Each structure stands twice: as C-alpha cells, then as structure tokens.
C-alpha cells in the first residue's frame, strides 16, 4: 500500500485501485467476502502498523458476548496495539463515536443497532487507522439510525481526517453516499470514477449484470425514451420538481 498526500493506492498481485484521502469511496461488488480475501486487507492491518480497520456488517459473535470494556481491551490485545495509556484511548474512542463511559460495563448484546455500530467504529479507532473499510454500512438500519451513523462517519472524516471505503452491493446507497466509485467484477476493476458518471453507463452496466440506482434508471429511461428534459438527481423531491416543470 503506497500512501501519497491525496490518495491511497491499495494493491496486491490480483487487484489494484486508488482511494481518495479523507473522502468516501464506494466499492460495488457482489462478492464482498472474496474481495476482502483477495485484497488481503486483514494482513495489511498487521504489516502496515494498523493503517486499515475493517468493520463488517455483523459483529463477530465472539465479541458480541462480551461487555464493552472487554471488547475494547480484547481488540487492543488482538491487534497488538501499542498504547501509552490504553484506558484513555478506550474512553477517547468511545467519546468520538458518541458513547459515554457508562457504556463500558454494558453487555454488547444489550446495545441497540445504532449503539452496536457506534461501538464497531470505536473499536476501529483504537488502532488509529488512516482508512476505515465498512461493508454494508447502513444495511438493516431504519432512517433515524442511518442518519445517526452517517453523521458520525462525516464527523470522523471531517474532524479526524479518516478515509472511508464502503463495500456494498447496494447501488442506491453507494450513489447516495460516496464521492468516488469503483466497480469490481470477477476480481477486476470494471469501472472507476464519479458515481453518477459510472451509473449513467446504463447499457454497459446491464450487460455486466450491475444494478443501477432506481433514480438514475428512471431518469435515463425518461431521457432516452421520451427525450425528457430532466436532470440526474439524488433526491426524489428534486426529480419531482423537474417532472412538474416539464410534464
């Protein structure tokens, strides 16, 4: 993994791609497990002194049975994180994600969905990573929880300079939240660039069995079939305004 000031290049024998520093890069893939395996991110955590942290959609069932403080110290031991003051680091990490010290003695299983994700982020912060990879960051969250987690990710990016990679097969989520998109198929980078520019390649994506965000697909169909004067948007309310103006 080479690091420049503005971007990180992640590469191994099979795959190579670049992510923008302090931005959110989306990776669309139908095989998240395979991607994590071939990129060998897990080894990078050790070989690069904890530069990358990975948060999977489901917390490890072994950790899930612990109390919050047990999980935090287990993570420090497991990743051999060298800390001058582990207790301070634990408390600081929890504070950043919005969990106060009272949570330390809570059973992880008693936490709500959003608190569990907050804890996953706190666990990731213990190693002070440059890049945080999250698989399916918002899957199975209601609107309020999604908003809360999104605000937290933005805070970690803007205030603490973290770079995020979202790995997902949810094209709608990737279009909504990411600044840069990489489409990986059969362990090869198929497309890389601005999410809108990529998702506008309707025919090409369909040929490659890549799903297209619904809002883009509808706009694309209106433009190509009816020559409709509507723009590509992210929010349904904006497309309504366009339709109202031109229908």
Partner 1 sequence: MITLQDFCYEDLFKDLNLFIVKNKITVISGANNCGKTLLIRILNREIVTSNTVLIDQAEMNQYTIEEYSKLVQCIIPLEITYEQPTLEEEMFYYNDNKEEIEKTIKGLKLKRSIHKKIKDLTTKEIVLSQIAIALIKKSSIILLDNIRMYLTEKETKEVIEFLKKQQNEREITVVITTIHLEESLLADYLYIIGNKSVALEGQPIEVLQNDNKINKLGLSLPFMIDLSVKLKDYDLIKEVEIDKNRMIEKLWK
Give which of 141, 177, 136 is closest to 24, Cα–Cα: 177
With binding defined as CB under 8 A, does residue 159 bind partner 1? no
The residue (of 22 and 223) whose beta carbon lies closer to partner 1 is 223
Exactly one of 58, 65, 88, 206 binds partner 1 (CB under 8 A); which one?
A: 58
Binding mask 96-115 for partner 1 (x = CB under 8 A): ----------------xxx-
Could you give the strand order of the β-sheet that contains 7-11, starting from the edge strand earlier in sequence? 2-3, 7-11, 16-20
- Looking only at residues 181 through 210 of this chain, which bind partner 1 when binding is defined by CB under 8 A? none
> Which DSSP state fits 109?
G
The residue (of 90 and 181) whose beta carbon lies closer to partner 1 is 181
The residue (of 151 and 247) whose beta carbon lies closer to partner 1 is 247
Q: Cβ 127 to partner 1, closest distance in Å?
A: 26
Strand partners, 184: 189
Q: Total residues at the site for partner 1 (CB under 8 A)?
A: 36
Separation CA 229–CA 242 (nearest Å): 8
Exactly one of 48, 130, 172, 202 binds partner 1 (CB under 8 A); which one?
A: 172
Q: Tell me which H or E stretch contains 49.
A: none
The residue (of 82 and 113) whose beta carbon lies closer to partner 1 is 113
Separation CA 114–CA 237 (nearest Å): 27
Q: Name the token pair of 116.
A: 């569990």
Q: Are strands 163-168 and 188-193 parallel, antiparallel or unpaired?
A: unpaired
Exactly one of 38, 55, 104, 243 binds partner 1 (CB under 8 A); which one?
A: 243
Q: Cβ 236 to partner 1, closest distance in Å?
A: 5
Asked if 24 and 154 count as a contact pair (C-beta separation under 8 A), the reply is no
Helices (H) and strands (E) counted in the chain, each on its own, are 12, 9
By CB under 8 A, which span of 1-9, 19-27, 69-77, 232-240 interacts with partner 1?
232-240
> Which DSSP state fits 157?
H
Exactly one of 188, 207, 244, 245 binds partner 1 (CB under 8 A); which one?
A: 244
Q: Cβ 153 to partner 1, closest distance in Å?
A: 17
Q: Tell me which H or E stretch contains 134.
A: strand 131-135
Asked if 116 and 103 count as a contact pair (C-beta separation under 8 A), the reply is no
The residue (of 29 and 93) whose beta carbon lies closer to partner 1 is 29
- Residues at the site binding partner 1, with contacts judged by CB under 8 A: 30, 33, 57-58, 61, 112-114, 136, 139-145, 169-170, 172, 211, 214-215, 217-218, 221-222, 225-226, 228, 236-237, 239-240, 243-244, 247
């Amino acid at each position: 993994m080479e690091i420049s000031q503005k971007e990180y290049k992640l590469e191994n024998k099979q795959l190579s791609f670049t992510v923008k520093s302090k931005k959110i890069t989306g990776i669309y893939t139908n095989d998240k497990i395979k991607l994590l395996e071939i990129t060998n991110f897990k080894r990078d955590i050790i070989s690069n002194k904890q530069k990358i942290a990975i948060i999977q959609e489901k917390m490890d069932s072994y950790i899930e049975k612990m109390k919050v403080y047990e999980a935090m110290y287990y993570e420090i031991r497991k990743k051999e994180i060298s800390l001058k003051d582990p207790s301070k680091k634990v408390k600081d990490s929890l504070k950043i994600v919005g969990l106060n010290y009272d949570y330390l003695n809570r059973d992880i299983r008693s936490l709500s969905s959003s608190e569990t994700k907050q804890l996953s982020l706190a666990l990731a912060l213990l190693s002070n990573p440059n890049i945080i990879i999250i698989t399916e960051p918002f899957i199975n969250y209601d609107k309020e929880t999604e908003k809360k987690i999104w605000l937290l990710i933005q805070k970690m990016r803007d205030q603490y300079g973290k770079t995020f990679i979202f790995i997902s097969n949810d094209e709608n989520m990737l279009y909504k939240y990411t600044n840069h998109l990489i489409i990986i198929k059969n362990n090869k980078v198929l497309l890389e660039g601005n999410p809108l520019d990529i998702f506008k390649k309707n025919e090409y994506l369909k040929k490659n069995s890549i799903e297209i965000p619904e809002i883009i697909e509808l706009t694309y169909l209106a433009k190509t079939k009816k020559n409709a004067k509507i723009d590509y948007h992210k929010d349904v309310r904006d497309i309504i305004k366009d339709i109202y103006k031109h229908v």
